[in-house]
Structure 1
Amino acid sequence: MSEFEKDIVEMEGEDGAVLKLCVERYFYYNGDEYVLLSDDVEENNVEEVSHYVMKVVPDEEEEGMEDFVPVDDDLMDKLVDAAMTTFADEDEDEE
């Protein structure tokens, strides 16, 4: 794990079960903010890590808070490609 603790969010899955997801990174695509989440959280005991991309929108009820909104499948494919390319470039720059 890195020197910084990652944020953990709880969300309700399609089957109604509560999922604990780890915030990996935030990024922008076409002027909108998105977040890359993973189920790479120790409590989940998963062998294969799944990633999710959601749109970040301000919470209308609580100032300073944000909501994560699912995106449609077509946009999801573009976002995953953009995120992986961006993050790979950033990782190379850090080395």
Structure 2
Amino acid sequence: MDDMQKDFSPAADADSIDDMADDMIEMTDEEGNTTLFKILDYFFYNGDEYAILTDSIDEDTTGADRVDCYVMKIVPTTDESGEELEEFVPVEDQKLEAKLMEIATLKLNDDEQADDED
């Protein structure tokens, strides 16, 4: 998980970010390969915003109870035309990454339990 996270370029596809209703972004690695990610949730930690991502997989066809998740920092930027964008940046600090993954796991488990109660 950690290696994949660091292989991806920090900028997400601008069109994907604008269409957040789908909660999907496309990212390109250093070799030019693109991967579609599903945004599961957002959270703040120490004043910074983070997103919990997973590979875009049709859950009905996998049958898996667990999926790999990634936490990326969201950095607001502005392009040449003045349009506001968001970059999804990998977390480089291993201690911070471990803490963020702990928070993400608790958040996802809490959300899952709340869904079960409904």
Give the TM interval when normalised to the shorter protein. Answer: 0.7 to 0.9
Mapped partners of 1:92, 1:58: distance in 2? 31
Q: Pairwise CA RMSD of aligned residues?
A: 2.5
Mapped partners of 2:72, 2:110: distance in 1? 21
Counterpart position of 1:92:
113
Tell me if 1:64 matches 2:84: yes
Gaps of 5+ in 2: 1-20
Counterpart position of 1:75:
96
Runs of 4+ in structure 1 over 6 Å off: 45-48
Gaps of 5+ in 1: none
Work out the percentage of aligned pairs sharing the same amino acid. Answer: 38
Larger helix fraction of residues: 2
Mapped partners of 2:24, 2:108: distance in 1? 20
Mapped partners of 1:26, 1:16: distance in 2? 27
Counterpart position of 2:9:
none
Mapped partners of 1:19, 1:6: distance in 2? 15
